[in-house]
């Protein structure tokens, strides 16, 4: 078994070690697996329970991993909460699956830090040599992609798949297709209801874009939005979204309760000097009240250029628009900048909501965020609620607004109006 202590490995010696493994396997025609393991919500553990507790957790985590490892396995810490493991001489994917399950079983027993026991969750991304890449950078990159996949689904580990969308889109000019999408009328806006947790009444809806491409069918927004951001097309897509959302507000049946719609703004749009002017003119064209529109900005977008984004958001707030901080808890700012954040709403990231019933620590984080937000007169939205137990538990914690599959999935405008009519009756 390897004796690497739980410090962050020096990059050069890490790469040398990994290179050594690869060369060994290259000459002998064997397979090996690279595992990237990330402890969830480690930053929050640091903030809430203190650095000493976080260090105890890390030591114990490594100790448990090592206990479950074979003599020849290698483990190193590569980031605050990220570890890399090399499993040499793997026979096939089934073998890796067994190993992944066994290693993750180290989390079955709660960890003891602070003054109680806590259930800890980790995600794992796996890539195989030579199946997925034959060089170390390539393998790490594939393991990172698999880790992202594990994180965005409810799986605890994921093995890199060649047939993932990244590869499907190889040779397909997504940028070019995106450019034509608006002309061809391929975008559609879906709406996911948000309900006031305390009264059970409709609060509003989040507008989520869908792209129905004539060749590839429906393409997920988390795949094409980053490409639109890079190519600059995100600006026109955002204006399309804002206009479509305002159209819904204008066409909203008077017999239904008033509606507030949230639209997502990416970092690129937040730093657009025309933003304030454009939003104001869109509101006046559609004759909508600023209070009916919420702009969602992720915590990480906000932090990219904090000074400028705070000024912009303050300006938008000053004429009545709602500002919501999306995916709250996943970025760097969280607690430190809390009181300065120019927002009247924050959305706790789904990753905290998903496990909160089984995970005392996530529940503690959710509770702390709700209390702090209320202290600053900020509403809290819980997103990703998938069952009634979670809904009730959030209600008890005093959370303000609920959103998630438990209530409804995002749907086209007509279906949304129909859903609301059924929901009310
Ligand atoms: P987001 O802003 O965090 O949106 C929430 C995502 O969670 C949506 O995925 C929604 O369908 C999904 N979701 C809601 N409730 C549940 C639940 O109970 N369980 C699970 N597993 N998922 C749930 P969607 O629509 O695929 O959007 C993904 C991301 O794409 C969004 O994340 C947002 O970052 C981006 N996006 C979507 N539409 C737009 C847009 O018009 N503009 C920009 N800039 N980004 C957009
Ligand atoms: Ca959002
Ligand atoms: Ca979100």
**Same-domain status, 94 and 211:** no
Is 6 contained in some domain? no
Q: What ligand has the least distance to the C-alpha of 410? A: 1
**Higher pLDDT residue, 281 or 29?**
281
Q: What residues make up the domain containing 322?
A: 171-424
Q: Going by CA atoms, what residue is nearest to atom 7 of ligand 1? A: 384
Last residue of one domain, picked from the residues 160, 182, 202: 160
Question: 349: CA distance to ligand 3 center in Å?
Answer: 6
**Same-domain status, 292 and 419:** yes
Q: Going by CA atoms, what residue is nearest to atom 17 of ligand 1? A: 384
Last residue of one domain, picked from the residues 105, 135, 160: 160
**Same-domain status, 143 and 192:** no
223, 264, 349, best to mutate for ligand 1 pocket (most atoms within 8 Å of CB): 264
Global pTM value: 0.73
**Same-domain status, 24 and 144:** yes
**Same-domain status, 153 and 219:** no
**Same-domain status, 135 and 44:** yes
246: nearest Cα among 275, 279, 272, 277: 279
182: left (phi over 0), alpha (psi -120 to 50) or beta: alpha
Question: 395: CA distance to ligand 1 center in Å?
Answer: 22
Q: Going by CA atoms, what residue is nearest to atom 21 of ligand 1? A: 384
Q: Going by CA atoms, what residue is nearest to atom 34 of ligand 1? A: 222
Three-state secondary structure of the chain? CCCCCCCECCHHHHHHHHHHHHHHHHHHCCEEEEEEEEECCHHHHHHHHCHHHHHHHHHHHHHHHHHHCCCCCEEEECCCCEEEEEEEEECCHHHHHHHHHHHHHHHCCCEEECCEEECCCEEEEEEEECCCCCCHHHHHHHHHHHHHHHHHCCCCEEECCCCCHHHHCCCCCHHHHHHHHCCCCCEEEEEEEEEECCCCCEEEEEEEEEEEECCCEEECHHHHHHHHHHHCCHHHHHHHHHHHHHHHHHHCCCCCCCCCEEEEECHHHHCCCCHHHHHHHHHHHHCCCHHHEEEEEEHHHHHHCHHHHHHHHHHHHHCCCEEEEEEECCCCCCCCCHHHCCCCEEEECHHHHHCCCCCHHHHHHHHHHHHHHHHCCCEEEEECCCCHHHHHHHHHCCCCEEECCCCCCCEEHHHHHHHHHHHHC
Convert the pLDDT of each residue in 144-190 to its tens digit: 889 988 887 778 899 998 654 444 554 567 778 888 898 899 999 99
In sequence order, which residues have a C-beta less than 8 Å from that of residue 164 and are 6 or more positions away? 145, 149
Last residue of one domain, picked from the residues 104, 127, 160: 160
Q: Going by CA atoms, what residue is nearest to atom 45 of ligand 1? A: 264
Convert the pLDDT of each residue in 261-285 to its tens digit: 999 999 999 999 899 999 999 999 9
Share of the chain above pLDDT 90, in %: 55
Share of the chain above pLDDT 70, in %: 94
pLDDT reported for residue 165: 46
Q: What ligand has the least distance to the C-alpha of 262? A: 2
**Same-domain status, 191 and 96:** no
Is 5 contained in some domain? no
Convert the pLDDT of each residue in 58-95 to its tens digit: 999 999 999 999 988 999 998 889 999 999 988 888 88
Q: What ligand has the least distance to the C-alpha of 265? A: 1
Question: 296: CA distance to ligand 2 center in Å?
Answer: 6
CATH code of residue 133: 3.30.70.270
Establish whether residue 327 lines the binding site of ligand 1, counting it when its CB lies within 6 angstroms of any ligand atom.
Answer: yes
Question: 250: CA distance to ligand 2 center in Å?
Answer: 22
Convert the pLDDT of each residue in 356-377 to its tens digit: 998 888 899 899 999 999 999 9
Is 68 contained in some domain? yes
Q: Which atom of ligand 1 is nearest to the CA of 241?
A: 41
Establish whether residue 384 lines the binding site of ligand 1, counting it when its CB lies within 6 angstroms of any ligand atom.
Answer: yes
pLDDT reported for residue 164: 47
Mean pLDDT rounded to a whole number for the chain: 88
Question: 325: CA distance to ligand 3 center in Å?
Answer: 9
Q: How many folded domains does the chain comprise?
A: 2
Is 166 contained in some domain? no
CATH code of residue 350: 3.20.20.450
Q: Going by CA atoms, what residue is nearest to atom 25 of ligand 1? A: 208
**Higher pLDDT residue, 267 or 303?**
267
**Same-domain status, 180 and 156:** no
**Same-domain status, 283 and 358:** yes
User: Residues whose CB is under 5 A from ligand 3 (ion)?
Assistant: 326-327
pLDDT reported for residue 1: 41
Tell me the C-alpha to C-alpha distance, in Å, between residue 154 and each of 87, 104, 107: 24, 14, 16
Q: What ligand has the least distance to the C-alpha of 235? A: 1
Is 2 contained in some domain? no
**Same-domain status, 16 and 87:** yes
């Amino acid at each position: 078994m390897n004796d690497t202590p739980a410090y962050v490995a020096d990059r050069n010696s890490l790469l040398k070690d990994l290179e050594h493994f690869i060369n060994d396997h290259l000459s002998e025609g064997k397979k090996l697996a690279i595992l990237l393991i990330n402890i969830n919500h480690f930053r929050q553990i640091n903030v809430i329970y203190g650095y000493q507790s976080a260090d105890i957790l890390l030591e114990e985590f490594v100790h448990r991993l090592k206990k479950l490892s074979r003599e020849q396995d290698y483990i190193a810490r590569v980031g605050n909460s990220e570890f890399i493991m090399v499993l040499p001489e793997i026979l096939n994917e089934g073998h890796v699956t067994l190993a992944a399950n066994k290693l993750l079983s180290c989390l079955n027993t709660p960890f003891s830090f602070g003054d109680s026991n806590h259930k800890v969750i980790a995600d794992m991304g796996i890539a195989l040599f030579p199946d997925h890449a034959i060089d170390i950078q390539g393998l790490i990159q594939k393991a990172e992609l698999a880790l992202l996949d594990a994180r965005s689904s409810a799986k605890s580990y994921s093995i890199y798949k060649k047939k993932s969308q990244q590869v499907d889109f190889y040779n397909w000019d997504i940028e070019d297709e995106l450019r034509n999408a608006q002309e061809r009328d391929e975008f559609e806006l879906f709406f996911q209801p948000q309900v006031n947790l305390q009264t059970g009444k409709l609060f509003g809806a989040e507008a989520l874009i869908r792209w129905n491409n004539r060749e590839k069918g429906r393409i997920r927004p988390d795949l094409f939005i980053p490409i639109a951001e890079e190519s600059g097309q995100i600006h026109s897509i955002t204006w399309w979204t804002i206009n479509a959302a305002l159209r819904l507000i204008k066409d909203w049946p008077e017999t239904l309760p008033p509606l507030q719609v949230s639209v997502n703004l990416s970092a690129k749009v937040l730093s657009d000097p025309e933003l304030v002017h454009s939003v104001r003119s869109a509101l006046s064209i559609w004759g909508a009240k600023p209070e009916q529109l919420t702009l969602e900005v992720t915590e990480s977008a906000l932090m990219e250029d904090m000074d400028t984004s705070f000024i912009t958001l303050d300006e938008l707030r000053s004429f009545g628009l709602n500002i919501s901080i999306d995916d709250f808890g996943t970025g760097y700012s969280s607690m430190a900048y809390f009181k300065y954040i120019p927002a009247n709403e924050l959305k706790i990231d789904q990753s905290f909501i998903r496990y909160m019933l089984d995970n005392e620590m996530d529940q503690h984080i959710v509770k702390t965020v709700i209390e702090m937000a209320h202290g600053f007169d900020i509403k809290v939205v819980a997103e990703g609620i998938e069952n009634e137990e979670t809904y009730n538990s959030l209600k008890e914690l005093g959370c303000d607004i609920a959103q998630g599959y438990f209530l409804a999935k995002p749907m086209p405008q007509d279906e949304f109006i129909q859903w609301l009519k059924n929901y009310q009756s």
